[in-house]
Amino acid sequence: MMGLYKNLFIKVPRSKLRGIIGTRFARTFSQQAARYKPILAPRLGNTKTRFSSLLYFTRPTSLIKQSDIKIKHKYKELNIQIQEILDFQQYKKILEKVQEKIPDRINFRIFPTSFSPEGYEGGGFFRADDWRWDTLEEHLKSSGALGVLVRLPLFWQVEPLIYYACKNAGSFLFLNDASNMPVGRVAIKNASFNTIVTTSDDALEFSKHIQEHNCNDFLNWIVVHPINDIDINRMKISYANTSYIAHEVHLFPGIPLFVQCSHLARGKSHHFHVASEFSLDTLEGSISLTGNESDAVPLYKVSINVSATREKKKCPCGREVFILLAT
């Protein structure tokens, strides 16, 4: 019986199979290629193979272009003129104006648009409530964080995000007021807190404090730098027994813009990736930023006052690397 089927299969000429099966699909793609000739021409050049159109149709549509369309549609709903927003300060003013128009049918978490209460007049950055601070969680896991001592300002309102990161990483959490250094020092020496999450200014002061009080524990540091106060000289922690140090530059409190993977955290301090929620354009020496379409008011080609260059080589993790420069 198997021999009969084998003979039947062998006796069918390949040219016949090609004629029966191939012609219909080839015609289909040729017709589609003709239809989309203006689009395909710049992508495919002068190639004349009839299957070249298949290359176009099997490629995913540009995610960046899809994001642009969604952001523009969201701006239209909020009655925002894109040309009104040229730089970061103008973007923050727009946030203040449109926050009452943001639909309440979607649950958002509100982040302050300032890192300090001084001169803060309100306005918030709205991001989906189910968003998580994933880079913090990754660092806690990579560094083997047992207890996490958080010394970030309460004004930032990032405690829920830190809670979720610690929960997923299996770390316990302690909120330590930045002005109460002795309690933080005791938590490190007597309660197995081996990871500190703090600001760049406090990292320098607190590391000096614990070292002066003969704290010899091996510690991990996760240091947050405000976008408006980047100083690469403050990315050097003087604490002798530093096991792991990761830096992040935040656009708003709790909103990472420049981040480090575990490879960069163990290497050069001023080398960064761009957070996955943002895309960065570097044209003619200026940097413009486009955000995530899921944000209530996404950034769209907003100019930011940051000096950075793109590295030629990619990180071992496969992502592009940017070097932040002294400003």
pLDDT at 42 over 60: no
Nearest to 94 by CA among 110, 109, 79, 116: 79
Least confident of 39-53, 203-217, 254-268, 305-319: 39-53
Token pair belonging to 193 = 């807190």
CA 45 to centroid of chain Cα atoms = 35
Between 260 and 41, the higher pLDDT residue: 260
CB 267 within 8 A of CB 260: no
Nearest to 155 by CA among 177, 173, 134: 177
Put the strands of the sheet holding 279-283 in their side by side order. Answer: 279-283, 286-290, 302-304
CB 258 within 8 A of CB 324: yes
Least confident of 40-54, 92-106, 107-121: 40-54
Q: Which amino acid is at 226?
A: P
pLDDT at 187 over 60: yes
Q: Give the whole-angstrom CA distance, residue 321 versus residue 327.
A: 19
Q: What is the reported pLDDT for 106?
A: 65
pLDDT at 68 over 60: yes
pLDDT at 215 over 70: yes
Q: What percent of the chain has pLDDT over 90?
A: 40
97 SS3 class: helix
Q: pLDDT digit string (tens) for 287-313?
A: 888 888 888 888 888 888 888 888 888
Least confident of 99-103, 180-184, 201-205, 311-315: 99-103
What pairing do the DSSP bridges indicate for beta strands 147-150 and 193-199?
A: parallel
pLDDT at 38 over 70: no
Assessment of whether the complete model's pTM goes beyond 0.85 = no
Q: Domain residue spans in the chain?
A: 2-58, 128-324
Rounded average pLDDT over 92-96 = 84
pLDDT at 121 over 80: no
pLDDT band at 112 (very low <50, low <70, confident <90, very high): very high
Q: pLDDT digit string (tens) for 140-164?
A: 999 999 999 999 999 999 999 999 9
Q: Give the whole-angstrom CA distance, residue 125 versus residue 305.
A: 19
CA-CA distances (angstroms) from residue 167 to 18, 147, 160, 255, 259? 58, 11, 11, 19, 21
Q: What is the reported pLDDT for 232?
A: 72
CA 86 to centroid of chain Cα atoms = 22
pLDDT at 177 over 80: yes
pLDDT band at 60 (very low <50, low <70, confident <90, very high): very low
Q: Give the whole-angstrom CA distance, residue 88 versus residue 117.
A: 19
CATH of domain 128-324: 3.40.50.12780
Phi, psi of 140 (to 5 degrees): -60, -40
Phi, psi of 104 (to 5 degrees): -85, 5
